[in-house]
Amino acid sequence: MEERVVRPGFHGRVYAVVRKVPAGHVTTYGQVATVLGSPRVARHVGWALAACAPGDEVPWHRVINSRGLISFKGDTARGEEQRRRLEEEGVVFDLKGKVDLKRFGWTFPGQAWPA
């Protein structure tokens, strides 16, 4: 039986994983979830990052969706801030607002980037 991934302390574990993503790179909600033990909790990763407090020093902006797009769910100000932060780190967006995951995607040790 698979160990339950979303349990007390989940947000802290998400933040610890996201802090490993270096500046100028991105990862996906699914990649973070996989590192935590289940690719099926990607949505929970997003909720954890949305709950970041300003002083948490979590580079939440380095996590995007698997299509290479920013997911802002109606919060355009946060989406604009995320894009600004990524661009300041050297991440490039194409004309459709997409990041090339093969170029800017961060793979965690022991993991391959999805094809």
pLDDT confidence of residue 3: 56
If one counts the domains in the chain, the total is 1
Structure tokens at 71: 């997911």
* Helix, strand, coil distribution of the chain in percent, nearest 5: 45, 5, 50
What CATH number corresponds to the domain at position 96?
Answer: 1.10.10.10
Query: Residue 114: inside a domain, yes or no?
Result: no
pLDDT single digits (tens) 76-97: 888 999 999 999 999 999 999 9
pLDDT digit string (tens) for 10-51? 999 999 999 999 999 999 999 999 999 888 999 999 999 999
Q: What is the pLDDT of residue 19?
A: 95
> Is residue 110 a part of any domain in this protein?
no
pLDDT for 100? 97
Structural domain includes residue 111: no
Residue 91 lies in a domain: yes
Domain of 22, in residue numbers: 10-103
> In angstroms, rounded to a whole number, what is the distance separating the alpha carbons of residues 110 and 49?
23
Helix, strand, or coil (residue 46): helix
Task: Look at residue 34 and tell me if it is in a domain.
Answer: yes
Q: Considering the domain boundaries, does residue 29 fall inside one?
A: yes
Mean pLDDT of 62-77: 90
pLDDT(111) > 80: no
**Is residue 112 one of the residues assigned to a domain?**
no
pLDDT band at 114 (very low <50, low <70, confident <90, very high): low
The answer to whether residue 113 is domain-embedded is no
Rounded Cα–Cα distance for residues 104 and 94 (Å): 12
